Structure 1
Amino acid sequence: MSTAAGGVTPMMAQYLEIKQANPDSLLFYRMGDFYEMFFDDAVAAAEALDIALTKRGKHLGEDIAMCGVPVHAAEGYLLTLIRKGFRVAIAEQLEDPAEAKKRGAKSVVKRDVVRLVTPGTLTEESLLDARRHNFLAAYATVRDEGALAWVDISTGALSVMTCSAMRLGPELARLGAREVLLAETIEADYAEMVSDLGAAVTPLGATSFDSTSGERRLCEIFRVGSLEGFGTFTRAEISALAGLVAYLEITQRGKLPLLRPPVKEGARAAMQIDAATRRSLELTSAMTGGRAGSLLGAVDRTVTAGGARLLERRLSAPSCQLDRIRDRQAAVAAMVEEATLAEPLREALRGVADIDRALSRLALERGGPRDMAGLRNSLAQAVEIAGLLEGRDLPELLADAARDLVGHDMLLALLEAALVAEPPLLARDGGFVAPGHDPDLDEARRLRDEGRSVIAGMQAEYARQTGIASLKIKHNNVLGYFIETTATHAEKMLAPPLSDSFIHRQTTASQVRFTTVELSELETKILNAGARALEIEKRLYASLREAMLDEAARLSELARALAEIDLACGLADLARARDWCRPVVDDSRAFEVCGGRHPVVEEALRRDGAPFVANDCDLGEAPIHLLTGPNMAGKSTYLRQNALIAVLAQAGAYVPAESAHVGIVSQLFSRVGASDDLARGRSTFMVEMVETAAILNQADDRALVILDEIGRGTATYDGLSIAWATLEHLHEVNRCRALFATHYHEMSALAGKLAGVENATVAVKEWEGEVVFLHEVRRGTADRSYGVQVARLAGLPDSVIERARVVLEALEAGEREGGGARRAVIDDLPLFAAAPPPAPVSPVKPSGVEARLEEVLPDELSPRDALALVYELKAMVGGKPG
């Protein structure tokens, strides 16, 4: 592409115009089978995608950088760019290039952006994790009142809640929002916090959040005169919903996704869990990233994408509503008791597609015949599942779900009649409509696929009609199809009555050629049959799509019902396989677990064939337990397992214990593990103090708090004093239930001073200088931390271990003597280099047995040789062979 100095080609002028309208996005500019990028976009994309950077002509005397990706592989490249923080504008060709040529040689194919691809607006199957939601959120404030709205456009789920600035972080952490919309007026106040949670920040003009115009637009979308039918929404909530809708109209270019009516969530309906606690407990994602090693990964036995997403929502937001928890428990209990029903249900559920996401893609015109086939198969499976549940005494949740499985007979019959068993991915490929569904399509296909046999049949008919057996129908590029006969027979065809039907076209030296009106029409049909068949299929596709979208609301209810059944069956399967129990959940302050286990650690140990040591926890009479014991003994595991049991119980699941009684936990806080935040100038100790402050300032009397090693990041007495004061505050001010693990044994004295504190310890045994971890939690206190023994297990050099023992014994002696003795011991302690070396160890001469074994190569021993060797070794140690 060359340009005059200072000028641009028409195509590049078009590109620059579109780019100017989308300055914050990489522009994918469609050119035939490629999306091309130019200038700075090309440089950034080439680096991010690791593809070749080339050039195409000049602009203002400079080379134009260029790179491109194939259209058929674009989704993979889009995913990479989105994960690296880019937004992408897709500019498609809006007309056939042939149309542009008709306007003149210099005319450019019309192009425009048809969609903006951002982290929160993904819908393609290949860009999403089928088992996780992909939320786009919007936060708005109106007269000091805040509200948070969120939507997963791949499923249409839309929710909103009143949300203070303090609650925004925990709620976004619960949702795992990928992108958050903020008005430009408040962007500076929240952008850093949103970014820290891993979400992209997108500012919008204040007009996008206008509640008055937003309310009108919402009413238009849901075709209602008022939003009151969906609930009573505050101005802030309507403002947040308005921001979402405005952004969807911007990014989807007018093609709104299939949104469900907004659901208003209560601020106290779910257990409050902040971001730090979610990371610490690894609820839905492990610290290393991904599901493996998380609670979700350990308990997920669902077989459908919808069921998996429902489980993630339940674990992310355990309910605080007793009736809802008990309904969910009852559904799981029914499947635990009816194993012979649960297994066939799970098998039938395996054939269910992702109904919500298929509907969303169809609504946005990004779906295809396979989405329709998936819905057809799901409807058929729903009928089978309804049959399995029919006539059974089911708990309310499952009974409601069973009712929503039926009533789709007409749509199922239509889809079964219209679609082939295994349709292609794209409608433009054709071949997805079943034979016999449409007569016009069947005829077009017959002509397309069987043109020769149709012509042969017509030839036979003309031969019979004329009585000329040698008559042929032939084809060439000049005449097309024609009837050919010899000159002798032609005279018959040129005379009435045959001349009325057969039209003379050409005479050659030995042959005469004719045509008929029917043959000309057939020729046109054959030549256009392929295109006509495709056009008919496209029309039928649009008709089927419309029929499915007309049933979207009921299909969404079907998807919800199938997910509910799947989740109940999955949790029941887990409970049976792992011997979990149904917990008692009530409105008390009880927290009593007998034989509790950590679900993730137990799963890992089970794979290794090792047992998990179960432990009790009773926070009834003494709601705060002070836990002491050495590192590696299992304190952190014990703390976390009880927190996870509370989460599972209020999610409606069974729990890993012999029995459990959990009074509703309103808030869950965890300060376990060490981390720093160097990017914001926070040391490990500072992060610890910030998280501890959040707990002490927010925990109410129904909270459950687990704290591990508070105060360890500073000097001993500073740390002890902070830990001491923290425990007193939890007892006297927060008055919550808590498990407090510490190495400060001095704190055990608080059990005698505070009525609600009880001491507990993790038992260990010493054997020949080594420490053996029993992993048993008992009442009482630890008298030491066994740090040196743990250091030996970690592999520190023997010289360091021995030196540490000497220093430890000296310091402990000084501590017992009190006063200035400790200082004197430190002053008198010789340095490592000056310390006497350890006594040399005399080499032990190997025994005859050991010497003999050194000579043995086990891989070369036959069974007879091995047996003979055993007898030989027994004789060497004084035994009698045989």
Structure 2
Amino acid sequence: MAKKARKVTPMIQQFLDIKKENPDAILFFRVGDFYEMFFEDAEIAAKELEIVLTKRSVDKNDPDPVPLAGVPHHSCEAYVGRLLDKGYKVAICEQVEDPQKAKGLVKREVVQMITPGTVLDTNFLKEKENNYLVSMAQTDNKFGIAIVDVSTGDFQVTEIEKQNTDKVSDEISRLAPKEVIVDDNNRDCYSILKKFEEQGVLITTVSQPTYRKVIEIMKDHFKVESLEGFGLGDLNGAVTAGGVLLQYLLDTQKTSLEHIKIVRPYSTDSYLIMDSNTRNNLELCETIRQKRKRGSLLWVLDKTKTAMGGRKLRNWIQQPLIDITAINRRLNFVEAFVDDYILREETGQALERIYDLERVLSRVIYDRATPKDLVGLSRSLEVLPDLVETLQKNLTFDELLENLPNTNDLADYIKQAIVPDPPTSVKDGGIINDGFDKQLDELRDLSRGGIEWISNLETKERERTGIKSLKVRYNKVFGYYIEITKKNLELVPDDYIRKQTLVNAERFVTPDLKEYEDKVLKAEEKIQEREYQLFQKIRSAVITRIKDIQDCAKFVAEIDNYLSLAIVAVEQNYVRPTVDNSRTLDIKRGRHPVVEKVSSEEPFIPNNTYLDNGIEQIALITGPNMAGKSTYMRQVALIIIMAQMGSFVPADNATVGIVDKIFTRVGAADDLVGGQSTFMVEMNEVANILNNATPKSFVILDEVGRGTSTFDGISIARAVVEYLHQEDKISCKTLFATHFHELIDLANEFSRVINYSVSVKEDDDEMIFLREIERGGTDKSYGVQVARLAGIPNKVIRRAKEILYHLENREINEVPVTGYQVSLDEVENKKHELVDEFVDLNPDELTPKEALDKIYELHEKAQKLD
């Protein structure tokens, strides 16, 4: 920062001392009505915020003034948010003593460190998304992960085996954290986090405390003697990550964390597992290309009325259940709404009146709540009795209503205390209702009496002096005064005391006016102090009910989700699925939930799906590109996810045997940064599937092997199918789409492989896609026809058909050259065919003459290739 020792003013030295304690943050240093930044911080802020960079002399004899930039304190949130978006931390440094009472330099301290993972301002938070801060730690054989959303108080921990680094990466990817905390000496953790840092996630390094210390941190925070009551008895990695996270919050937020009331351990194996590749391919919460919600499954299912419900729905989609009882419990609630129009309408009307209870509560805890926040909290709590009364009309909801806390008293207390439309500031008064506090009422009476006396003074003085233009006015500099124009100065009484001379008038005060002014201003000052004290008292009353408010928020979010899923089910004609422990997936007339909603030019064609581990385990799907294979396979995966998250599904009927994992190998993309080709990326994804799938998994494989030569590709694809089919390996339900129509023979060789194809109608060499999946494979490719549809020039299409004819008839050397040379790849493929033809010979079945003739035939073909 300061490149050499230099003499600086006391204030600049104070800045340097505080900056030294917070070297990795931009220091917002409070000076009057501004937050000022100096040295390198000023240069960074000026560049990133596009504000003026100036200079300030730190000594009158210093020829080298220091860089300076500043922002108004009343609008600092916008500037802080922009810095957070760019990955910076911001330390808020305030004056912590009254400047009028300070002896010498005003004392300043960092009162809050704001980081991307600790944002509370709703202007910078997406209301229907969690803002996760993640901590990662490591024990001898486990990775510990701790997660908190500071804006809601949600705190969770988990552990994953040390050797399963891909699973750790997938879980962090699911959480999409804004910031991850890690021990600065842990290379294993940092190697996993490196790709997230490259994606813009802030990685914050800290010194990890000892295990004994993190235990103390956790126990001190939750005020318990043991962590076993939370189910953390033997989860050393999770406890370590949790303790590190709590200590980081205490260090940065400089306040209690009272809204973090409970830590919830979870296992990734308690949910349907999907790796990051699968979540992306299925576009669960955002589209692959544009990274937008529109076009995703979440976009279809989100009819939530509250921010809390929206956040919970996102989590449900990304973590479908595997427990049948829990799934059917959700389905029962959704069905209750589906079957009752009035129940849906009345519940929706109630939910629309409820604010974001979780984030309001967090702002209360951090002393950042405004009077409007508390009014919103009160009005939300007032809605709950109406919501309860509505739900009580259906016995299905009795279970949810049983333990819902009664918060009517708190709602009434806030309503009695705070005016219906309060100001935003907590220190300027005008917050508290008349009649709420006796002391405040007395101060207000005094103030109003003084103001009334002053307002009557103008009439009284006009009569006494005979000056009709006399005015009694007020400003912040001079207080109350009497203003008289210069032409009337000869009428000014002797008891007037001259205060100020203007061009056309003079201002005066009187002893009585000064006395009443003192009473009024002191009363106003005391009123503001008293109102602030009362606001803090109301805030404290809210804090004592944290658990009740959080329980209400969880209840509202859950109801909101059931209602949202029900609304979609009714609007889109979804049905309740049967979810059981069978090995069967049976979908009648299933539809893709997103595609059918955005399809406007033609109706969506539904399709059946039947898979069974013991009968029809692998569906081998052939057909041309653009015919709908990928859409069909994705819709099956989405129907499984919807069923296991507790949603109705787009089908006429559906039975879903519990799936533990979903894997997809779809699409092609190079990993240029990682130095991997399309084919290597594809093989990595296939390897992940073959190494981690179980008999209860569901696998989508789309065009395996197409990134290499034809015979290599066919060989790999066939080997993968055989491996998936073996009972001693995986034997899981699989949809396998391929252009290698040579693979359809597998259905004759393996009992649980079934051929399907996408129906296509050909008319004068033109293709019409019927979008129907039907039994039976196709022995024909349609690549040339698809090329025509893509706009390839007719000359190229005609030449391709000519070459294709000879290739299909094994006449590679007889292809006439008409401006195009046969590719080396095609020659290589022909060589593979010759080798296959030779290997397929059975010498024992040939006469000597037949064998000799065959040798000459193969030799002649080989010579032509050379």
Please report the TM-score for the alignment, with normalisation by the length of structure 2.
Answer: 0.84
Contact kept in structure 2, 1:597 and 1:656, CA below 8 Å: yes
Q: Secondary structure at the match of 1:92?
A: strand
Instruction: Tell me the amino acid that sits aligned with residue 146 of structure 1.
Output: F
Decide which of 541, 555, 560 is 2:554's aligned counterpart: 560
- State the match for 1:164 in structure 2: 161
Q: Secondary structure at the match of 1:14?
A: helix
- Counterpart of 2:203 in structure 1 is 201
Contact 1:401 1:562 in 2 (8 A): no
Question: Partner residue of 1:222?
Answer: 222
What is the SS of the residue equivalent to 2:668?
Answer: coil
Match of 1:302 in 2: 304
Structure 2 Cα separation of the partners of residues 38 and 720 of structure 1: 65
Alignment partner of 1:670 out of 664, 673, 676: 664
Could you tell me how far apart the structure 1 residues matched to 2:730 and 2:443 are?
77
1:260 corresponds to? 261
User: Which among 758, 772, 792 is matched to residue 796 of structure 1?
Assistant: 792
Match of 1:615 among 599, 607, 610: 607
Alignment of 1:81-96 (within 5 A): 81-96=83-98
Write out aligned runs for 1:430-829 (5 A). 430-448=429-447, 451-454=450-453, 524-605=518-599, 608=600, 610-620=602-612, 621-732=615-726, 733-812=729-808, 816=809, 818=810, 821-822=811-812, 824-825=813-814, 828-829=816-817
1:201-233: per-residue Cα shift (whole Å, max 9, x none)? 2222121xx332222222222222222222243
Shift of 1:766: 1.5
- Corresponding residue for 2:138? 141
1:165-180 alignment, distance < 5 Å: 165=162, 166=164, 167-180=167-180
- Following the alignment from structure 1 to structure 2, what is the Cα–Cα distance between the partners of residues 42 and 51? 10
Q: Deviations over 1:365-420 (max 9, x none)?
A: 12211221111011111111112123x3432xx32333455511211110111122
- How many Å apart are 1:479 and its aligned residue? 13
Query: Using the alignment, how far apart are the partners of 2:227 and 2:323 within structure 1?
Result: 25
Secondary structure of the residue aligned to 1:679 is coil
- Alignment-derived partner of residue 865 in structure 1: none
Does the aligned pair in 1 maintain the 2:12–2:58 contact within 8 Å? no
Give SS of 1:662's match. strand
Q: C-alpha distance in 1, partners of 2:479/2:63?
A: 55
Corresponding residue for residue 118 of structure 2: 121
Residue 878 of structure 1: aligned partner:
none
Give the residue type in structure 2 aligned to 1:92.
E
- Tell me the equivalent position of 1:315: 317
Deviation at 1:66, TM superposition (A): 3.1
Tell me, what secondary structure is at the counterpart of 2:390? helix
1:831 is aligned to: 819
Structure 1, gaps ≥5 residues long:
462-471, 483-504, 835-882
Question: Once the two structures are superposed, what CA deviation does each residue of 1:336-388 show, in whole Å capped at 9, x if it has no partner?
Answer: 11111111110110010111111111101122112211110111111111121
CA contact (8 A) 1:404 1:558 kept: no
Question: Is 1:150 the counterpart of 2:152 in the alignment?
Answer: no
Q: Which one is further off, 571-580 or 44-53?
A: 44-53
Distance 1:507 1:520, change over 3 A: closer
* Equivalent in the alignment of 2:109: 112
- Partners of 2:496 and 2:153 in 1: CA distance: 69
Equivalent pair of 1:5/1:61 in contact (CA under 8 Å): no
Per the TM alignment, residue 480 of structure 1 is displaced from its structure 2 partner at its CA by 8.5
- Report the Cα offset of residue 55 of structure 1: 3.2
* Mapped partners of 1:647, 1:255: distance in 2: 39
Which amino acid is the alignment partner of residue 225 of structure 1? E
> Amino acid of the residue matched to residue 250 of structure 1?
D
Q: Secondary structure at the match of 1:224?
A: coil
The code of the aligned residue for 2:710 comes to T
- Following TM superposition, by how much is the alpha carbon of 1:289 offset from its aligned partner in structure 2, in angstroms? 1.2
Whether 1:332 aligns to 2:334 is yes
**1:416 alignment counterpart:** 415
| Separation of aligned partners in 2, 1:460 and 1:437 | 34
Deviation readout 1:117-176 (Å, 9 max, x if unpaired):
222111111111110111111122222222211111111011112212422112112222
Which stretch shows the higher mean deviation, 64-73 or 261-270?
Answer: 64-73
Would the alpha carbon gap of residues 831 and 156 (structure 1) be closer, same or farther in structure 2, given more than 3 Å must change? same
Distance 1:687 1:58 in 2: 58
**Residue 806 of structure 1, CA deviation:** 3.0
Deviations 1:458-508 (A, max 9, x none): 9999xxxxxxxxxx99999999899xxxxxxxxxxxxxxxxxxxxxx9799
Distance 2:496 2:135 in 1: 79
Contact map agreement 1:631 1:785 (CA 8 A) in 2: no
* Shift in Å, 1:424: 2.4
1:70 offset after TM fit, Å?
2.9
Alpha-carbon distance in 1 for matches of 2:283, 2:479: 76
* Cα drift, residue 654 of structure 1: 0.6
8 Å Cα contact 1:586/1:664 also seen in 2: yes
Mind listing any 5+ residue stretches in structure 2 that lack a counterpart?
Answer: 461-469, 483-493, 498-508, 823-866
2: CA distance, partners of 1:643 / 1:686: 25
Assess if the C-alpha contact under 8 Å between 1:3 and 1:58 holds in 2.
no
Give the direction of change, closer, same or farther, for the CA distance of 1:10–1:797 in structure 2 (3 Å limit). farther
Contact 2:7/2:58 (8 A) holds in 1: no
Change in 2 beyond 3 A, CA 1:28/1:527: closer
Segments of 4+ moved more than 4 angstroms: 2-5, 58-63, 446-450, 454-461, 472-482, 505-508, 513-516, 519-523
Q: What amino acid is the match of 2:272?
A: M
One-letter code of the match for 2:111?
V
CA distances 1:756-800 after superposition (whole Å, capped 9, x unpaired): 211111111122322111111111112333222222222233333
Partner of 1:277: 278
Q: CA RMSD in A?
A: 3.1
How far off its partner does 1:599 sit? 0.9
Output aligned runs, 1:339-354, within 5 Å.
339-354=341-356
How many Å separate the matches in 2 of 1:480 and 1:84? 49
- Is the counterpart of residue 246 in structure 1 residue 247 in structure 2? yes
Residue 195 of structure 1: CA displacement?
A: 3.1
Separation (CA, whole Å) in 1 of partners of 2:41 and 2:147: 30
1:132 corresponds to which of 129, 134, 144: 129
Report the AA paired with residue 279 of structure 1.
Answer: N
Which of 369, 389, 393 is the aligned partner of 2:371?
Answer: 369
CA distance, structure 1, for counterparts of residue 168 and residue 386 of structure 2: 43
Counterpart residue identity of residue 709, structure 1: E
Aligned mates of 2:42, 2:681 — CA distance in 1: 40
Q: Which moved more, 1:546-555 or 1:446-455?
A: 446-455
Q: CA deviation at 1:647?
A: 0.7
> Residues 254 and 434 from structure 1, CA distance in 2 versus in 1: closer, same or farther, beyond 3 angstroms?
closer
Following the alignment from structure 1 to structure 2, what is the Cα–Cα distance between the partners of residues 582 and 684?
A: 40
Structure 1 residues 200 and 784: alpha-carbon distance in aligned structure 2, compared to 1, 3 A threshold: farther
**Structure 1 pair 479–262 and aligned structure 2 pair: CA distance change class (3 A):** closer
Q: State the alpha-carbon separation in 2 of the partners of residues 475 and 724 from structure 1.
A: 93
Shift of 1:257: 5.5
| Aligned 8 A contact 1:136 1:178 in 2 | yes
1:609 Cα shift? 5.6
1:184 counterpart residue number: 184
Alpha-carbon distance change, 549 to 524 in structure 1, aligned in 2, over 3 angstroms:
same
Q: 1:849: which partner in 2?
A: none
The alpha carbon displacement at 1:737 in A equals 0.9
Say whether the 8 Å CA contact 2:427–2:529 is kept in structure 1. no
Distance 1:206 1:146 in 2: 14
| TM score, norm. by length of structure 1 | 0.83
Q: Taking structure 1 as reference, are residues 662 and 475 closer, same or farther at Cα in structure 2, changes over 3 Å only?
A: closer
Aligned residues of 1:386 and 1:405 also touching (Cα < 8 A): no
The 1-side partners of 2:586 and 2:479 are apart by 93
Secondary structure of the equivalent of 1:599? coil
